[in-house]
Structure 1
Amino acid sequence: MAAPTPLHGNELIDCAKANAKDGIEAAATLCGYSGDIVTFERELHSAAQHMGIKLEGFQDLVKTTEVPQPIGIDVIPETETVL
């Protein structure tokens, strides 16, 4: 559900991170900026700077929200007594 008014500060950062995988247009709309990408990015940078977060661009949010994939393989026994 889109925010009824543009979000700012911590709420904007949280909303943008939560919707980063859907793209910048969707994130801007859901954060209350109705597709105004320029204002959304400006406010996002301002909020990040105010909070002391280094944010080069919107793509940085996509990188931080990706879930790392486990490395290795699963070993599952064929039966309860045989590995």
Structure 2
Amino acid sequence: MTVPQKLEGLELIDCAKASANQGLATAARQCGYGENTEAFEAELIKACQKIGIEIDSLGDLITDRQQIKKGAGIEIAPDSSSSL
């Protein structure tokens, strides 16, 4: 879902946090900044500073729980198609 207008403040932080695992370009688009990742990241840092959170980049919003989900699970499969 792409937002037609640029998000700001808490809405921007919420959208960015939800999109952080998908990368900077995707998060910028979903928060209404299109391909302008520099403006997105600058506005995100400014919005976080307003509420007392210090971040250096979008990646700082990814929680440990989100990182665990990304790599969670194991693959169980036969060694070959003939040993099903």
Shorter-chain TM-score bucket reads 0.7 to 0.9
- 3-state DSSP of counterpart to 1:32: coil
The answer on whether the counterparts of 1:17 and 1:65 sit within 8 Å (CA) in structure 2 is no
Percent identity over the alignment? 42
Distance 1:53 1:33 in 2: 21
CA drift of 1:26 comes to 0.1
Deviation of the 1:62 alpha carbon: 2.1
The alignment status of 1:11 with 2:5, answered yes or no, reads no
1:50 aligns with 2:50: yes
Cα gap change, 1:33 to 1:62, in 2 (>3 Å): same
Paired residues, number: 69
Please give the per-residue CA displacement for 1:43-66, whole angstroms capped at 9, x wherever unaligned: 001000001112121110124561
Q: Deviations over 1:1-20 (max 9, x none)?
A: 11110000000000000001
Which residue number corresponds to residue 2 of structure 1? Answer: 2
Unpaired stretches in structure 1, ≥5 consecutive residues: 70-83
Q: Is the 8 A contact 1:7 1:31 kept in 2?
A: yes
More helix by share: 2
Name the SS for the 1:19 alignment partner.
helix
Larger Rg over CA atoms: 1
Structure 1 match to 2:41? 41
Which segments of 5 or more consecutive residues in structure 2 lack a partner in the other structure? 70-84
Instruction: Please tell me the root mean square deviation across aligned C-alpha atoms, in Å.
Output: 1.7
**TM-score for the superposition, normalised by structure 2:** 0.74
